[in-house]
Amino acid sequence: MQKSAITKLKKIGLSEESIDFLLQFYTGAVNAYGIISLEDLYGLYKDIKRQNHDYPEITFDQFLTFGEVTGSKLLEHYAIFSPEIINKYFNDSGIPLTSPLLVHESVAWKEDSIHEIWYLYMDLCEFSSKFYLTPDDLRDFAEHQETADDRAFQKILAELKAFGKPLDQVESQIYPNDTGINEITKLVTYAYQTSPGNLEAASEEFENLSLFYRLDYGKHTFQEICTLMKRALYDLPCWGLGGYTYGKMMGIPKEDITENDFFDDSFYKDDNDLFDLDEDDVLTDHLQQLGQALLDLASDTHPHAAMRKKASYPKRLLDKTMKKRYADAGFDTDKLDFLHKFFQAAVNLYGVIELVDLAQIYEDIKDKNHYPDISDDEFIDFAELVRREKVPYYVFEQHELFKNGIDLEFERILVDADLLGPDGLKSLEGVYNVYFSEYANVYWEPEDMLAYTGHQQEKEELDMLAYFTQLGSRDAKIVSLESKDLARKIVDHFLWTSKSGFQEADPIPKEEFRQLLANGGKTLNKEIEDNVLELIRNYDKNRHVYVLKGWTTDEWNSNLDIHGEQVQRAKAMQAILDMIKKSKDPE
């Protein structure tokens, strides 16, 4: 610990022995609970102290000050986040945070923002009901003691290969100066510890990482590796269980822990009874055939089993690092500038598009625009590099979005960051809604892609933000930070639902809108309703729609040739329904 920090702590009455005790106590706590408020942690300290007379006497103010001082200096084990920042900008639960949060270092590394950390904390509180483990001495958790199960799991990982090389010789993709083995160990552990005691979460994460690293299991099997992994995790404190271990809470002996190697398909075996007819029903065989056809048309074509609840993605790199990587890959300034603009324009027009489709659009329009010559390899190399750059979109590998995804270089998927919902990489509904959309059967191709590098509908979006901000103000010259934040949330929600094509979702979130009106001392009336509807109409007018593959609504409506299977199924379904109705009600 830095001398300046020790000096500050001594000034509030802490001895060196007390400082050393608190460092061990905090480290043990963050290892056991992952994220915990210092108020709750001090309560645990007092409970343990009643039974453990080795604990020194420490006041609540000293306890808080220690956290604030060391949390801003030490990032080896934990960080501290202030309640003022969280309550003002991130806390939408309606329950104010009253003390700082103690956060494990791996959470600070893994989550993209304070917003994500806050949501994770809320999830952990919900999973555990804040029923925290109260051990004899929390300092016992300050350092993990390696077990035979840990060693068995590490041994089998060391026998795997990634990209044709031993896994321990492959560089980590997230953690600096680390190996692939350590990254996999950390990420499967994190997946388990942030779950409500779900060992299958670790198996799912290992499956993701297997695809990401293109692991060669050699003589081993997925089931064998995951069984050893689960047994290594069995005795670790699970944050979603309030620090209790899987074995303690579930009561399952460790030797009974195995990886499932079966799939129960009984739910899907027989859907024929959905159109069973009563004995008294006199419908003909012809109508039964129509019913089966309707069932076939109504069945969901989206491979839900392949979708993920959340996506993994490598950490973004610093600009100077990216500049060096582009230079090492041989990109000159002109090509690099063109590719950045071309990719950004594509995301603005389509929201979601595979690299192979984007490359085809480039081929179709490059000659008339005198674009620079870009080879397929350059498209692939740029897509792989820009994944790590700080840009307002993602370039996902197939396995990062789909459980059964096979990573092919030309099938990487560009995704507008706005399509990720409020929970970021844990909110993929909008991405899937656009990706699987079949309203249009072909992409709209612009005369010049580079004409769309700017933010689509930027003026209309700013007009909307300005109007909602004004609604939350009682004085045109003074707007509270809360109202500005509410206005931004309302517009962000609208953009998400609009771009994603969620017809069933409210475009304006009700609770935030009510609070905004209350802040401005206003009540909903016809004038406000008309103004909001006009803003929405202005935004949608002439907009290139993601679920229509970049076509505007007017273009799509006027060109039946571009209508996709989703439209044809809807028309066929309606025709069958009309036939059934006609057969039931003969003239």
Using pLDDT thresholds of 50, 70 and 90, give the confidence band for residue 58.
very high
Look at residues 432, 439, 441, 123 and name the one whose alpha carbon lies nearest to residue 305: 432
In the predicted structure, residue 478 carries a pLDDT above the cut 50: yes
Residue 42 has, within 13 A of its CA and on its CB side, a CA count of 18
4-8, 94-98, 429-433 — which is least confidently predicted? 94-98
Mean pLDDT of the 57-62 span? 94
- What is the predicted pLDDT for the residue at 299? 43
> Does residue 229 share a domain with residue 160?
yes
Using pLDDT thresholds of 50, 70 and 90, give the confidence band for residue 345.
very high
Burial class (CB in 10 A: 0-12, 13-18, 19+), 242: buried
Using pLDDT thresholds of 50, 70 and 90, give the confidence band for residue 451.
very high
> Does residue 425 share a domain with residue 479?
no
Percent of the chain, pLDDT > 90? Answer: 40
Quote the CA–CA distance of 189 and 185 in Å, as a whole number.
6
> Does residue 422 share a domain with residue 497?
no
For 98-138, the pLDDT digits (tens) are 889 999 988 887 776 777 888 899 889 888 888 899 999 99
> Does residue 96 share a domain with residue 202?
no
Question: 86 or 138: whose pLDDT is higher?
Answer: 138
Using pLDDT thresholds of 50, 70 and 90, give the confidence band for residue 456.
low
Percent of the chain, pLDDT > 70? Answer: 83
Quote the CA–CA distance of 431 and 352 in Å, as a whole number.
7
11-15, 46-50, 254-258, 510-514 — which is least confidently predicted? 254-258
- Contact, 259 vs 227, CB < 8 A? yes
Look at residues 365, 362, 386 and name the one whose alpha carbon lies nearest to residue 376: 362
Look at residues 215, 203, 207 and name the one whose alpha carbon lies nearest to residue 170: 215
User: Which residues does 581 contact at the CB level (< 8 Å), separation at least 6?
Assistant: none
- What is the predicted pLDDT for the residue at 60? 94
- What is the predicted pLDDT for the residue at 306? 67
In the predicted structure, residue 312 carries a pLDDT above the cut 80: yes
Q: What's the total number of domains in the chain?
A: 4
Look at residues 346, 437, 349 and name the one whose alpha carbon lies nearest to residue 383: 346
Q: Residue 165: what are its φ and ψ, rounded to 5°?
A: -120, 155
Mean pLDDT of the 228-247 span? 92
- 3-state SS class at 463: helix
Q: Residue 478: what are its φ and ψ, rounded to 5°?
A: -125, 120
> Does residue 238 share a domain with residue 162?
yes
What is the 8-class DSSP label of residue 403? T
**In a domain? residue 271:** no
For 19-39, the pLDDT digits (tens) are 999 999 999 999 999 999 999
Using pLDDT thresholds of 50, 70 and 90, give the confidence band for residue 94.
low
Using pLDDT thresholds of 50, 70 and 90, give the confidence band for residue 41.
very high
DSSP calls for 203-249: HHHHHHHHHHHTEE-TT--HHHHHHHHHHHHTTSBPGGGTT-BHHHH
Quote the CA–CA distance of 539 and 522 in Å, as a whole number.
24
CA 559 to chain centre: 36
- What is the predicted pLDDT for the residue at 285? 47
**In a domain? residue 552:** no
The 10 Å CB-count burial string (b at 16+, else e) for 375-400 is eeebbbbbbbbbbbbebebbbbbbbb
User: Which residues does 107 contact at the CB level (< 8 Å), separation at least 6?
Assistant: 34, 35, 117, 120
Quote the CA–CA distance of 277 and 228 in Å, as a whole number.
51
In the predicted structure, residue 358 carries a pLDDT above the cut 70: yes
> Does residue 443 share a domain with residue 351?
yes
**In a domain? residue 494:** yes
> Does residue 345 share a domain with residue 428?
yes
Single out the residue in 256, 276, 298 at which a domain terminates: 256
- What is the predicted pLDDT for the residue at 286? 45
Show the tokens assigned to 44: 């645990």
In the predicted structure, residue 579 carries a pLDDT above the cut 60: no
The sign one gets for the Cα dihedral 121, 124, 126, 132 is: negative
**In a domain? residue 308:** no
For 152-166, the pLDDT digits (tens) are 999 999 999 988 888
**In a domain? residue 437:** yes
**In a domain? residue 572:** no
Average pLDDT, the chain: 83
User: Which residues does 496 contact at the CB level (< 8 Å), separation at least 6?
Assistant: 418, 419, 421, 422, 430, 502
**In a domain? residue 358:** yes
Show the tokens assigned to 19: 């400082």
Single out the residue in 543, 561, 582 at which a domain terminates: 543
- What is the predicted pLDDT for the residue at 267? 29
For 207-224, the pLDDT digits (tens) are 888 888 889 999 999 999
- Contact, 311 vs 400, CB < 8 A? yes
The sign one gets for the Cα dihedral 357, 363, 365, 370 is: positive
**In a domain? residue 168:** yes
Quote the CA–CA distance of 193 and 327 in Å, as a whole number.
40
Task: Please list the residues that pair with 79 across neighbouring strands.
Answer: 103
> Does residue 169 share a domain with residue 93?
no
> Does residue 528 share a domain with residue 437?
no
> Does residue 114 share a domain with residue 178?
no
In the predicted structure, residue 76 carries a pLDDT above the cut 70: no
- What is the predicted pLDDT for the residue at 91? 64
Mean pLDDT of the 313-325 span? 90
For 266-300, the pLDDT digits (tens) are 322 333 443 343 444 434 444 444 444 444 444 44
Using pLDDT thresholds of 50, 70 and 90, give the confidence band for residue 584.
low
- 3-state SS class at 521: coil
Dihedral angle, C-alpha 143, 149, 155, 157, nearest 10 °: -90
CA 457, 462, 463: angle at the middle one, nearest 5? 100
For 520-567, the pLDDT digits (tens) are 899 989 999 899 988 888 887 778 889 899 988 888 888 888 876 655
> Does residue 108 share a domain with residue 13?
yes
Single out the residue in 141, 172, 195 at which a domain terminates: 141
Using pLDDT thresholds of 50, 70 and 90, give the confidence band for residue 7.
confident
Domain of residue 188, residue span: 152-256
- What is the predicted pLDDT for the residue at 571? 52
- What is the predicted pLDDT for the residue at 71? 78
Quote the CA–CA distance of 556 and 551 in Å, as a whole number.
6
> Does residue 131 share a domain with residue 183?
no
